[in-house]
Structure 1
Amino acid sequence: WMVPEGVAEVWLVDLKLSQLHGWYTDLDRQVREGLAGFGTVFFGKGYAHPDHVPIDIARFTGQQPFPMERFLEEPPHVTFIAREDRLWFRSPLSKFLFRATHPLGLRKLLARLWVSDQDRLMRGTMKAIRREFPGVSFTVAGLGRPGGFGGLAEDLRTLQMDEATERRWCAAYGRSQFVIGLHGSNMLLPTAHAGGCIEVLPYDRYENFVQDVAVRYADVMQLFLYRFVDEFATPRQVARHALSMFRDFRTYYRNNRTNVF
């Protein structure tokens, strides 16, 4: 999964990123043995935050990204990215109470209350968007328990990840004018495929601004299509940005892509 064509072998090291700061003699031995049969070996640099614009994501996932030039021609679709370990909170008090459950040993018992409230925030956003654009459809993707959206959205959330699920998610991203979700690495693949995003950005993540977004455009279109809102933004505030992206795209695209020197 996500290995591009032309790669002959994959050496997979089953260690967490935090563990890779150490030195493992057995791993060193295996690498030396694996490289012994080659006359020349070149090492490619790995960048934590590369320029995403020139990257053809379809080489890795097999899913074509949303074509920006067809933003208004394709059926309107929005995908929400949801997870249960990092949440969209309704208020500072809600966030404080959620964090207080951890030292009290109540997180597992009570976490579902906040997850359900996050679902309510997403449903409220969907309904606000649909009041203005009745034809828009929605998908919810991410690591979490499915349920609670009825006929309002296609719910692809799951706690059991596999390649088929990941491909279904990427297909949803690829047909989305934009995705909506909370800051985190969970936004990388969605933004690499969708036309744009609206991200709920927590205060304590300002120094990581845009690190989790695979920006696809090198011109001012990125200012229009990648939007960031307060971590306690209301559904109405998030929907306001979504509606603007649908309503104002034609004018913005004409002024900044068509009528330019």
Structure 2
Amino acid sequence: HTLPIEHTNMFPVEVSCNGSHPTYSEVSKIWLAEPLIHALTSDHEEEVNVTVERKKEHDKIIILNCLDSCYGHALDKLFNIQRHLDHHAHLGLVVIIQSSMRNLVPEGVSEIWELDTPFKTFEHRIKGFDQLVKTRVLESKEAYLSRADMNLDYSLLRIPLFVKHNPLRFDKLYEYPARITFILREDRFWLTNKVNHFLYLVARKLGQLSLIKFYFIILQNRNFRKLAKLLVKQYPDLQITAIGIGSPGGMNRYVQDLREPYQEYRMHEDERYRLYSESHLIFGVHGSHMILPSALAGAFISLHQDFKIPHFSEDFIPRHSNPQRQAFLGRFLSDRNSPKAIASHIKNLFGALYSMEKTKF
């Protein structure tokens, strides 16, 4: 029986040791219950290097497990550090993370356990990891396990604590030349055509996406090129940057293309956060690591695919206490929107900022 922590606080799972008699919510079947049961009952174990960094010695600890096969879920778990530093300062905080998130861990934690492996590895058991945790618990005088709450109130989140940069101030949106940052990945695509959408879903379903993704990359790059050309025509001094995991190329002269392969991408995290915090607007497809950029940039436009509608609001962090300002500066649109339609949204956003100046009652 799962402990009341993380997502299993809302969606508990029960199963016999041999995998029989499973009990779980149908809502959590595909993304939580079935993968968990498979990991528990499978003989497969992953070999992963674990690096333990002890910053402070504590005999009373609280363990925060931030491991998850989904980056967004892992990030929410990581944000629990703020609560523990604020309210459990008497305990040593042990944070367990995937290696690419190491730079997000703020000062004040006692230990960092870093696992250098892809996120998808955490769909399986990690060889020897259970014993590592038990050994650390037995070394301590008192040991607690964090609830790792997933339903966080983002309005209380102090983003600079994690990314070391302040979000762009609202009044900076009036300063020109403006900067727009495109966020691209080679496994999330902006496809405006129904036929291409259908082809993408079929390839994804059959596990053949890698064979034809070059075609979708060409289409996506073309859409971003068109958008950049339309925007520069409207704003000649506009600065446009493309950031993401992938190979640079396929853009036009209006775009500074800073895309990188994954290994290089990991090394320049702080520079990306700086660019996001200087961006008037970020633009990308849902699932392209838009969460932290949305908390740093002045505004964002997130494109969602139809099958992502149930999750469209999970890929951002709200910045503004004024609901109208947040709705104006944070837009969720279908990926069927053409470059021309997106350009119209951006023109409206930059041209009607004055309407967001509100007088208090």
TM-score interval, smaller chain: 0.7 to 0.9
CA shift for structure 1 position 30: 1.2
Indicate the residue corresponding to 2:279 in structure 1. Answer: 176
**Structure 1 Cα separation of the partners of residues 144 and 210 of structure 2:** 47
Correspondent of 1:92 among 173, 194, 197: 194
Q: Does 1:247 align with 2:351?
A: yes
CA shift for structure 1 position 171: 1.7
Q: Which has the higher strand share?
A: 2
Q: Does 1:136 align with 2:238?
A: yes
Amino acid in the other structure paired with 1:67:
R
**Structure 1 Cα separation of the partners of residues 151 and 171 of structure 2:** 26
What's the TM-score, normalizing by structure 2? 0.65
Indicate the residue corresponding to 2:111 in structure 1. Answer: 9
Residue 186 of structure 1 contacts residue 212 of structure 1 at CA under 8 Å; is this kept in 2?
A: yes
**Structure 1 Cα separation of the partners of residues 353 and 141 of structure 2:** 54
CA shift for structure 1 position 14: 5.6
State the superposition RMSD in angstroms: 2.5
CA shift for structure 1 position 72: 0.7
Q: Does 1:260 align with 2:360?
A: yes
Indicate the residue corresponding to 1:61 in structure 2. Answer: 163
**Structure 2 Cα separation of the partners of residues 91 and 126 of structure 1:** 19
**Structure 1 Cα separation of the partners of residues 203 and 125 of structure 2:** 36
Gapped runs of 5+ residues in structure 2?
A: 1-102
Indicate the residue corresponding to 1:30 in structure 2. Answer: 132
Correspondent of 2:320 among 212, 217, 226: 217
**Structure 1 Cα separation of the partners of residues 207 and 113 of structure 2:** 40
**Structure 1 Cα separation of the partners of residues 344 and 169 of structure 2:** 23
CA shift for structure 1 position 166: 1.8
Aligned runs of 1:78-89 on 2, under 5 Å?
78-89=180-191
Q: Secondary structure at the match of 1:167?
A: helix
Indicate the residue corresponding to 1:226 in structure 2. Answer: 330
Relative contact order, CA 8 A, sep 6+: which one is greater? 1
CA shift for structure 1 position 11: 1.7
CA shift for structure 1 position 123: 1.4
Residue 225 of structure 2 contacts residue 252 of structure 2 at CA under 8 Å; is this kept in 1?
A: no
Residue 224 of structure 2 contacts residue 251 of structure 2 at CA under 8 Å; is this kept in 1?
A: no
Q: Secondary structure at the match of 2:290?
A: helix
Identity across matched positions, percent: 27
**Structure 1 Cα separation of the partners of residues 273 and 145 of structure 2:** 30
* Matched residue count: 257
**Structure 2 Cα separation of the partners of residues 166 and 71 of structure 1:** 24
CA shift digits 1:117-150 (9 cap, x unpaired): 1011111112222222222111111111101224
Q: Which has the larger radius of gyration?
A: 2
What's the TM-score, normalizing by structure 1? 0.88
